[in-house]
Chain A
Amino acid sequence: MSDAVAAPVSSRPPALVLGAAGFLGLNLVDALVADGQQPRCGRRARTNVLALRQRKVPLVQADFDAPETLREAMKGIDVVYHLGGHYPRLSLDLEKERHIGLTRLERVLDAAAETGVRRLVYVSSTATVAPRTDGSGSTEVDLFDTPPTWGAYHDLKWHLEARALAEKRWEVVVACPGACLGPWDLRMGTSTMLVGLARGLDVPHPDGLVSWVDARDVAKGLLALGTMTDPPRRVLLSAESIRLQSLLEVAAAFYGVTAPPALSDAEALAFADAEEHRAAEGGPRARLARELVDLIIHGPFIDATRSRHQLGVTYRPLDETLRDFDAWARRVRFIPTKSTQEAAP
């Protein structure tokens, strides 16, 4: 990490992590603590803070719908890591999700401006990365000129990143991580398929390029963006881009099962839409989220060389991520061991 200039711990003002209780947030908190920092961790009233409480880090109210809590949380803060960008639970109402997301981001940006924050590290998504027509790897320069029309998630992430990059009042840098895997995915986002395989369940999925990355490596990249003297404006974070079917076959071999075949794009879209409508009517969570389908079938091939060279990120291999995720998931019993199989939910 030759470009990263770390200030002595004692002289470094605290960092604030928005979205600290989430998957990436917990891994970032661990990275900040390992770096000798004592991050202030933003939480909402109903946030699950069990994992943060275990880490003994200071918690502070930071509700995106209560701007005064954001201003209070940012007092005396040098760097804000914003990992709490709106994530639409369902993809059914594009206009509504965009409005919620942009309103909340505006409040974060305003609070940072009012409290004198020096830098904001905004966590976006590879959903904003445009594929290249020649099939070569997309880099930081590849942005969609207009929002992709594939679904609410792509639309929202494009608008949010565009707003963050347009900020002129102080420094904003943007990180675009791919599909995150690894420990602390408490809400079972991208890890759902791994847990499904481990449990021998059906795992409905389309096929397409997925740019996976270990959440701990994303955290290292974010830490570098927050601490280095001259960070790049936009960075893509991904270990590799592979077909989802290939990734699932590796994971299936790890669990000694056979990977289920992929649905066609049309089948996956229809299935996800039906699942979302059922969930919207009060049913259980969708077994296949629409945004995951959109991300997979439109996934670009990512070239994350900049993150390796400028941030010093060394991405761990898939087998290490799978092994560590499995150990964690068994510890919290998302994946039952023989002794817990009967008690498993």
Chain B
Amino acid sequence: MTQPTIETRVIHLISQLVPVKSQDIKPEQRLRDDLGMDSVSSMELLSMLAEDFELDVGVEDVADVHTVAQTIELVKVFLAKKAA
């Protein structure tokens, strides 16, 4: 069994917060305008990511994330920081 990619894991977590199936979530989609998230659920998503990937994401980092692709990129950046 192959390990899920970062993209797959992020999209799976997003799908737990919005009424959209994982397979219908695309990187270019905007968390708010396209997926219906608000500031509270955006922060909840970052919290879930922080726990799932064991990242030290801060509250202030949420403001930089507007799309699925940016969410994935944020996880990659923090994973790289953790590995450094």
Which residues in A have some Cβ–Cβ distance to B below 8 Å? 46-51, 53-54, 186-188, 284-285, 331-334, 340, 343-345
Contacts and interface: CB of A to CB of B under 8 A. Distances in A.
A46 B52 CA distance: 12
A344 B63 contact: yes
B59 A51 contact: yes
Interface residues of B, number: 21
Interface of B: 32, 38-40, 42-44, 46-48, 50-51, 56-60, 62-64, 66
Question: B interface, by DSSP: helix, strand, loop or mixed?
Answer: helix
Given A54-B56, A284-B38, A345-B32, A46 B44 contact: yes
- Residue among A49, A284, A332 with the highest chain B CB neighbour number at 10 A: A332
Contacts of B46: 48, 50
A48 B43 contact: yes
A205 to B, nearest CB: 20
Nearest to B57: A50
Contact of B47 (A48, A187, A332, A345): A48
A165 B51 CA distance: 37
B10 to A, nearest CB: 16
Contacts of A332: 59-60, 62-63
Contact of B58 (A46, A54, A345): A54
A53 B66 contact: no
Contacts of B43: 48, 50, 186
